[in-house]
Amino acid sequence: MAKKNILFQKNPFLDIFKSVFVGVFGAVSAYMVIAFYSITFVSIGLFIIDKYNKPNTKLMVELQTGQYVGIVFCILGLLPYMQYFFAGFLIEGGQHAFNSLFE
3 state SS for the chain: CCCCCHHHCCCHHHHHHHHHHHHHHHHHHHHHHHHHHHHHHHHHHHHHHHHCCCCCCCCCCCCCHHHHHHHHHHHHHHHHHHHHHHHHHHHHHHHHHHHHHCC
User: Distances in Å between the alpha carbon of 50 and those of 44, 45, 61, 76, 93?
Assistant: 10, 9, 12, 17, 36
To the nearest 10°, the Cα dihedral for 94, 96, 99, 103? -140
The whole model's pTM is what?
0.71
Does residue 7 surpass a pLDDT of 90?
Answer: no
Mean pLDDT, the chain, rounded, equals 87
Q: Looking at residue 94, what is its pLDDT?
A: 86
pLDDT (tens digit per residue) in 45-84: 999 999 998 888 888 888 888 899 999 999 999 999 988 8
